[in-house]
Amino acid sequence: THDYENFISSILLKQTARSCAFAVRSFNVEIARIAEQVSQKSIGLMRMQFWDDTLDKCFMNDFKKVPQNPVAIELFNAVKTCKLTKRYLKNLIISRKENLNSNGFHNLEDMEKYCELSVSSVYYLILEGSKIKNLDADHAASHLGKAQGIVQQLRNIPHTQKLNFIPVPQAILTKNNVNHEELLRSRSSKPLSDCVYEVASRAYQHLSKSRSLEKKVPPEGRRAFLSAVAIAAYLDKLQKVDYDVFHPRLKHREWTLLPKIWLASFKNRY
């Protein structure tokens, strides 16, 4: 319901890696949705603290201490089975906590740092679940996470008012003379499209870099990166509508995505 493209990609992983991916991505969804579920930051921070405490309990190796929450139970199993690195899981919480106390990014570099913590960390964990220890795979994961994180911010633009967060870096908005009102009212304009183009270009650069490392990534590690297909598909659609993030075509999920992901998996590519 909340992370369809990553869900589809995770299905194609094998056994233990698939279970780990579902646990990690479910945990990530729970944390990521807190910002849109609460109207007061204090309540959001309380929910973050619940998951922070839950994470600590998952590493205590005592199932009785883990809250009887389906996501918490699966996370406990993944931590125990795959020996996941606690730091990466903590990064998912830390990045969202910092964003609760902010209403946007200052520049693209700030956005990239956020994406490294909130998305690349997910890929590092799935690689651990796939028993992959490889520097090239980690390098590819870092770039893919940044690409996916940036694309997610672009997708958030039509929901700016609901999220109470400005997804486009302030430096880029200022350079193109775009004010927050255009984002809050979902108003298309050439200057805003120029902003989107600049942000999307950075996402494309990271995606291209990740894909350039494909042959150096172990075969099972490539399966962990199948979400790259969906990222590329969105960037392609965005280009075709001249970077108008409010275009109706971007709201619809194309039926070709499923066969594209399956074909990439069959060819052991991403």
Instruction: Give the model's pLDDT for residue 254.
Output: 86
Per-residue confidence in pLDDT tens, the chain, 270 aa: 899 999 999 999 998 999 999 999 999 999 999 988 888 889 999 999 999 999 999 999 899 999 999 999 999 999 999 999 999 999 999 999 988 878 899 999 999 999 999 999 999 999 999 999 999 999 999 999 999 999 999 999 999 988 889 999 999 999 999 999 999 999 999 999 999 999 999 999 999 999 999 999 998 899 999 999 999 999 999 999 999 999 999 988 888 999 999 999 999 999
Cα–Cα distance measured from residue 73 to residue 19, given in angstroms and rounded to the nearest whole number = 12
The pLDDT of residue 3 is 93
Q: Indicate the pTM of the whole model.
A: 0.95
Place of tokens 């693209």: 108
Cα angle, residue 215 at apex, residues 213 and 217 outer, rounded to 5°: 70
The CA-based dihedral angle spanning residues 240, 229, 127, 266, taken in that order and rounded to the nearest 10 degrees: -170
Tokens standing for 157?
A: 């633009």
Give me the CATH number covering residue 240. 1.10.600.10
176, 195 contact by CB (below 8 A): yes
What pLDDT, on the 0 to 100 scale, is given for residue 20?
Answer: 97
Annotate 30-59 with b (16+ C-beta within 10 A) or e (fewer).
bbbebbeebeeeeebbebbeebbebbebbe
What is the Cα–Cα distance from 82 to 210, expressed in whole angstroms?
24
For residue 224, give its domain range: 4-267
What local confidence, expressed as pLDDT, does residue 221 receive? Answer: 92
- In the chain, the number of structural domains is 1
CA 6/CA 23 separation, integer angstroms:
12
